[in-house]
């Protein structure tokens, strides 16, 4: 069974940093694209970043470019999101997602339970 378990969320002051982790199990982690998607409280879904199975193919949403860094440790089956220079508008639930990219088509097949990041003074 595929499992994605996020951790690392919490309350942080504007300008601060957090590192989110996503522990993956039940599949060959190093063969899958992985993404982070966030959901503003009571609002919609926003794609944040993606990374290929071998650690290449990294891309970011413009709103986080230069501040967030996605990475993965395939030996430990963990996906990371390092978030620096946090702003109030980064407040959201952050989801870790597995993407099979089947037939060249990307889709968000499996989601973690999410971890809440609150940026506030």
Partner 1 sequence: DIQMTQSPSSLSASIGDRVTVTCRASQSISNYLNWYQQKPGQAPKFLIYAASTLQTGVPSRFTGSGSGTDFTLSISSLQPEDSAIYYCQQSYKIPYTFGQGTKLEI
Chain residues in the site for partner 1 (CB under 8 A): 35, 44-47, 50, 59, 61-62, 95, 102-103, 105-114
Q: How far is the CB of 75 from partner 1 (least distance, A)?
A: 26
Q: Which is nearer to partner 1, 43 or 121 (CB)?
A: 43
Least separation in angstroms between residue 108's CB and partner 1 is 6
Structure tokens at 23: 């522990």
Enumerate residues 6+ apart whose C-beta is below 8 A from 59: 49, 50
- Spatial neighbors of 84 by CB under 8 A, at least 6 apart, are 17, 67, 68, 69
Nearer to partner 1, 1 or 75 (CB): 1
Q: How far is the CB of 67 from partner 1 (least distance, A)?
A: 15
């Amino acid at each position: 069974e595929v499992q994605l378990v996020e951790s690392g969320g919490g309350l942080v002051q504007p300008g601060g940093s957090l590192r989110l982790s996503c522990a993956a199990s039940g599949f060959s982690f190093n063969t899958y694209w992985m993404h982070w998607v966030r959901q503003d409280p009571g609002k919609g879904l926003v794609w944040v970043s993606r990374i290929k199975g071998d650690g290449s193919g990294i891309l970011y949403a413009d709103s986080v470019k230069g501040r967030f860094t996605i990475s993965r440790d395939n030996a430990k089956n963990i996906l990371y999101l390092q978030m620096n220079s946090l702003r109030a508008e980064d407040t959201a639930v952050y989801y870790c997602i597995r993407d099979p990219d089947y037939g060249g088509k990307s889709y968000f097949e499996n989601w973690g339970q999410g971890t809440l990041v609150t940026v506030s003074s």
